[in-house]
Structure 1
Amino acid sequence: MLNSWGEDIDINTTINTLNGVSKSSSSTSINTSTSTNSASTAKNGDTRSSKSSTKSLANSAKLVTKPVSSTSSFFGKFTGGGGGSSNSSNNSHNSSTGTNQASGSGSGSLTTTTTNSSEDTREGNDNLTIQKINASIGSIKGEDIKWDFWKLLRFSNPDKELLKFIRARKWDPNRSSIALTRTTKWKAYDHNVNQIIMDGEYYVFKNEMTGVMQNLTLRKAVILGHDLNDRPVIVVRPKLHSTAQQTHEELEKYVLLVVEELQLFFKEKTTTATLLFDLTGFSLSNMDYTAVKFIITVFEAHYPECLATMIIHNAPWLFTPIWKVVKAWLDPVVAAKVNFSYSLKDLNKFIPTEQLPKYLGGELDYDLDRYTPPDGTYDIHLNDKEKRTILLDQWRVLIAEFIKITKEWILSENQSENKKLWLQKYDLSQKLRAKYIEMDPYLRTRSSYDIDGLLVLE
């Protein structure tokens, strides 16, 4: 079959390879493609708290307990196991690590007997969770959504990315599982986000996507500079916006292209951004509630914990009633991140003067209105299919090893062994990041940020 990066890939061979390197014990099944929580980001940090959190999440998701028919079906799908939807009352458990059968069950059907009422409640919650997950995934094959998950990660740390969903869902493993599943489907199938970022700005102009072209040319949103915590800043200028400039579909493509380009600016220890809405010159004709609702959906539901701070600068008096409406749509956690500014001094509380463009009183010598569309000239590696295939194979091997070590880490009860395995996981996450960065020129067209030297993956 052909993957979304334009490469021929033998899925069965790849899945078999993963099966071979990631078998767990016959009595225990781990069905997740990554660990779900590595709270510490320092290599030599104390792993006890992250271990405890992961154990808690794993237990709730039936990852490290006797086989049951519940949330584990989701992880079986997610790691390339069973395909299609399943009946939650009689789930088959065919994960990438093989088929586990509880005593007395047949045909892979899993059953468990619980005597504790809290376990019964948890089992009921898990069954409800798997129903919701199956409803959102539908007939999508497990191996397909598994690779979609890894491709959408790009060079992000798997643990940190999942931790964003866990935090956003208040540490509830069932809600986190549902949210992650829906987001993977939303990105990969409903909006084809991977194709949007791989094709990039060049594809927009090559195919004359008029509305998206106009948004890019007007430079309504520009990723420029860093805040006081070295986080990338997006400068948005609503005065340049009009609902008549594009269709809703074109607006969505533009927003997703900008957000996906933003992800490329993230570094290992910097995984959030500052959003600066400059309302200078804003009028009611610029207001687009449909666009605002979509942006809220993007950041709250599908890119959780991506926004560190939102600054609304130079808001005119007419924005007051608008803000009351918009604030009511926001999650209270997100609303608490909003700050209003009216001067350079106010902006300097978040962004240093040298990182602000001159038109805002800063020192950054950058013309926000200048835009040269990429013409493909810099995409010198995209046609090197042989090199791309080699790099993709190496990347898949690292993924398989990461899954294997993650499972061993979750199963381990020895503190010394825990730390040893966690450090191996950390090392593998670094290798995965480095390998993806090496692959990037063979997968993605160069953006205007790459060409201008503003974007350097690291």
Structure 2
Amino acid sequence: MSATPSVYVQPVLPTEGRLGYLTEGETEKLKQFWVRLFDIFDEKTPFDQTAPSSFKGQARDDENGDAAPVQKSGWFGRGKAAESAVEKPRFTGKDLHRTFWKMTMMDHPDMIVLKFIRARKWVLDDALKMFLNALKWRIVERMDELIELSDVQLDAKYPKFIEQMRKGKGYLRGADPLGRPMSVINTRLHHKADQPPETIHRFTLYTMECGRMVLPVGSETVIVIFDLSNFGLDNMDWGFVRLFVQCFESYYPETLGVCVVHRAPFVFWGLWKLIQPLLDPVVATKFVFTRNNAELHKVIPRERLPIIHYDGLDDWKYEYIPEREGENDHMKDTAKKEELLKERHDLEERFDVASRAWIKDPKGKSSDERDEIAKSLREQYARLSPYTRATSLYQRWGVAVGGEVNWTYNVKSE
């Protein structure tokens, strides 16, 4: 191990605009947002019922080439000719309402919408447009599929899906002392031609959704570690870069806590000049560059990092555990599934009713009733998910079980 001393510097997470810390003015803005949202869900207010055309294949445009990214223009530079050639799906308010509740899963609904409001600096028109686009995106991207299909089923539909996990190309491992899950991306293991572009696209979104399942109560952000050890130009994939940037800017806003670029070689800095203009200024501030393990230990404590490769203190090595026979048998119990889904929908309706009453109450700064229902939604999702979600690698590791997040570290002394 390195003898270089390093000291972890724990950051102070912001509380402004977060649930439990809202000012009176911010609470009023949140209420106004819910009013507008219900008007959309109830189909009282007209809205753009089409998805932006760039949703269709926009992260896969370079399947036949590897051109450098374009500068921002609309939805990542899709031209008018491409827009006219795409048949746009149409959505109703009821479609978006159903998708909203599927997206919420175990989170407090206010926490979800506040991320979009903060991302648009409390300008409600902009926040609403962003939020509706994210709901449409989830429908177009068939996010339900990534939750419902097992590893084997995903691999059958998207060739070499399991291979991405076997190689350890990208995975979630551990959390920092603030509870932020860490996502490791080993760029040296990725070669664009080794698998279909659609497989990487789906695997990336799958990992994003798994990341939500390992967020403990009270945590809203994640840490991403881009490990660029032994990185070369043949490891570069512009389609992935565009998808990564757009996800954290548009579809999972206010979710990226820190993006650590670790051991970037000289060749990377020329690419960074092309990547940086794609980033929203707020997202760009989340990037941290560490040249060696000693610098990485200042961002993430050594006891949370593996001994192998990162000079940490955790005696852990990545291993993919294959799907086990019968692990998804709960999903075949349709009677129990329907019973739990009805219970879930009843809770969702109760939250909607309580929210409609709260937004009409001029003195209602907070709503204990809504908070209690939100807690019930989280508890109920833990019971429902075995019947609606296929078992993931992280459940096989024993991390995300029964609605609880439990990372274990086998810490060795130096």
Give TM-score, length-normalised by structure 1. 0.71
Supply the distance in 2 between the matched residues of 1:430 and 1:276 (Cα, whole angstroms): 31
Partner of 1:184: 135
Whether the 8 Å contact between 1:223 and 1:235 is mirrored in structure 2 is yes
CA, structure 1 residues 256+347, in 2 after alignment: closer, same or farther (shift >3 Å)? same
**Cα distance, 1:268–1:378 mapped onto 2, change above 3 Å:** same
RMSD (Å), alpha carbons: 2.4
Aligned-pair CA distance for 1:84 = 8.8
SS at match of 2:298: coil
Contact conserved, 2:100 with 2:135, CA < 8 A, in 1?
Answer: yes
Q: Select which of 25, 28, 43 maps to 1:55.
A: 28
8 Å CA contact 1:83–1:141 kept in 2: the answer is no
- What is the CA distance between 1:320 and its match in structure 2? 1.2
Partner of 1:161: 112
For residue 253 of structure 2, the aligned residue among 304, 325, 328 is: 304
Q: Which one of 204, 210, 218 corresponds to residue 255 of structure 1? A: 204
Post-superposition CA distance 1:374-417 (Å, at most 9, x none) = 14531131111111111111111111111111122111123xxx
The answer to whether the 8 Å contact 1:279/1:315 transfers is yes
* Residue 243 (structure 1) shift: 0.9
Number of residues paired by the alignment?
350
**Of 339, 345, 356, the match for 1:407:** 356
3-state SS of 1:382 partner: helix
The aligned residue for residue 95 of structure 1 is: none
Which structure ranks higher in relative contact order (CA pairs < 8 Å, sequence separation ≥ 6)? 2
SS at 1:297's partner residue? helix
Partner residue, 2:237: 288
State yes or no: 1:199 paired with 2:199. Answer: no
1:171 aligned residue (93, 114, 122): 122
Distance 1:198 1:158 in 2: 22
CA distance in 1, matches of 2:343, 2:26: 31
Query: Do the aligned partners of 2:17 and 2:118 also contact (CA within 8 Å) in 1?
Result: no
Would the alpha carbon gap of residues 349 and 137 (structure 1) be closer, same or farther in structure 2, given more than 3 Å must change?
farther
Deviation at 1:452, TM superposition (A): 1.6
Checking the alignment, whether the CA contact within 8 Å between 1:84 and 1:140 is kept in structure 2 is no
Does residue 78 (structure 1) correspond to residue 41 (structure 2)? The answer is yes
The runs of 5 or more residues in structure 1 that have no matched partner are 1-37, 64-71, 87-135
The aligned counterpart of 2:373 is: 428
Q: Deviations over 1:180-220 (max 9, x none)?
A: 111101111x1101211221423223x26323232222111
Shift of 1:76: 3.0
CA distance in 2, matches of 1:62, 1:221: 36
**Highest Rg: 1 or 2?**
1
Alignment-derived partner of residue 277 in structure 1? 226
Instruction: Name the aligned partner's letter for residue 143 of structure 2.
Output: V
Question: Contact between 1:313 and 1:342, CA under 8 Å: does it hold in 2?
Answer: yes
Q: Does 1:325 align with 2:274?
A: yes
Relative distance call for 1:252 and 1:440 in structure 2 (3 A) is: same
Aligned residue for 2:212, secondary structure, equals helix
Separation of aligned partners in 2, 1:224 and 1:82: 44
Amino acid at match of 1:195: E
- TM-superposed CA distance for 1:55, in Å, is 2.2
Deviation at 1:82, TM superposition (A): 8.0
Deviation at 1:315, TM superposition (A): 0.9
- 8 Å Cα contact 1:378/1:451 also seen in 2: no
| Aligned residue type for 1:441 | P
Match in the other structure for 2:93: 142
2:77 matched residue in structure 1: none
In the aligned structure 1, how far is the partner of 2:188 from the partner of 2:48? 46
| Pairing of 1:87-166 with structure 2 (within 5 A) | 139-166=90-117
CA pair 220-62 structure 1, distance change in 2 beyond 3 A? closer
String of CA shifts for 1:291-312, please: whole Å, max 9, x gaps. Answer: 1111111111111111100111
Aligned to 1:114: none
Q: Distance in 2 between matches of 1:85 and 1:311?
A: 37
2:90 partner SS:
coil
CA contact (8 A) 1:202 1:376 kept: no
Contact 2:159 2:196 in 1 (8 A): no
Q: Residues 45-68 of structure 1, C-alpha deviation per residue, up to 9 Å, x if partnerless?
A: 6x6x1x422423555x693xxxxx
Counterpart of 1:451 in structure 2 is 396
The letter for the 1-side match of 2:280 is D
Query: Could you say if the C-alpha distance between residues 137 and 395 of structure 1 is closer, same or farther in structure 2, counting changes exceeding 3 Å?
Result: farther
Which residue does the alignment assign to 2:285? 336
Does the Cα contact within 8 Å between 1:231 and 1:274 map onto a contact in 2? yes
Match in the other structure for 2:7: none
Report the counterpart of residue 349 of structure 1 in structure 2: 298
Question: What aligned pairs does 1:347-386 form with structure 2 within 5 A after superposition?
Answer: 347-359=296-308, 360-368=310-318, 370-386=319-335
Over the matched positions of the two proteins, sequence identity in percent amounts to 28
| Alpha carbons 2:200, 2:240 under 8 Å: kept | yes
Distance 1:155 1:234 in 2: 20
Inter-CA distance 144–83: structure 2 relative to 1 (3 Å threshold): farther
Unaligned runs of 5+ in 2: 1-15, 50-86, 405-414
> 1:200 and 1:300 mapped to 2: Cα distance?
28
Three-state SS of the structure 2 residue aligned to 1:386 is helix
Contact 1:243–1:286, Cα closer than 8 Å, also in 2? yes
CA distance in 1, matches of 2:89, 2:326: 41
